[in-house]
Amino acid sequence: MADDNQIAIISQGVEAWNKWREENPNVLIDLRSAKLRHMNLENANLADADLKKANLSSVTFDQKIMWKLGSDSFDTQHLRFNFLTMFYYSVVTFTTLGFGDIIPKTSTAAMIVTIEVILGYVMLGGLITIFASKLSRGGG
């Protein structure tokens, strides 16, 4: 269960949270099952935070799935398995960059990644179609 003191601090906003993190660098961050749904966590220092079962409904769908699959589903090589690593992997996968630094280890993880790659290609195709249409009309 989440640390009530840490929930109170992060509820004060990102600035207060990051200041507290700087002042307490050795404290383990426990936000398990925390209700963070309506909080703006942009630029919040969540490095090494335990966010298992936290309500993070504002994050992307695929990133949440990858996060919930857990560290046993991905070989993160030189990166720690945490929320930010899965966000990074989701962006790299969706944009079809595929650096190869994170690898799915289970068939479920591989299927989720495959779906995300297909969605990335479909959206890229749509974007190219829009640009080609604009160009053919003279920038319209």
For residue range 74-91, what is the model confidence (pLDDT) as tens digits? Answer: 787 778 888 788 888 888
Is pLDDT above 60 for 36? yes
Q: Which of 58, 83, 106 is the last residue of a domain?
A: 58
Rounded-to-integer distance, Cα 25 and Cα 28, Å: 8
The two three-digit tokens of residue 20, written as one number: 């507290």
In terms of domains, do 49 and 70 share one? no
Say how many domains are in the chain: 2
14-18, 25-29, 62-66, 130-134: segment of lowest average pLDDT: 62-66
pLDDT bin (cut points 50, 70, 90) of residue 23 is: very high
Of 34 and 126, the structure prediction assigns the larger pLDDT to 126
Closest CA to 34 of 49, 18, 19: 49
45 shares a domain with 96: no
pTM (2 decimals)? 0.46
User: Same domain, yes or no, for 82 and 135?
Assistant: yes
**DSSP run (H or E) holding 34:** none
34 burial level (CB within 10 Å; 0-12, 13-18, 19+): buried
Domain identity same for 75 and 105? yes
Q: In terms of residue numbers, what domain contains 93?
A: 61-140
CB distance 65 to 89 below 8 Å: no
Asked whether residue 117 falls in the same domain as residue 106, the answer is: yes
pLDDT digits over 43-74, tens only? 777 777 887 777 765 544 455 666 667 777 77
Residues 32 and 6: beta-carbon distance below 8 Å: no
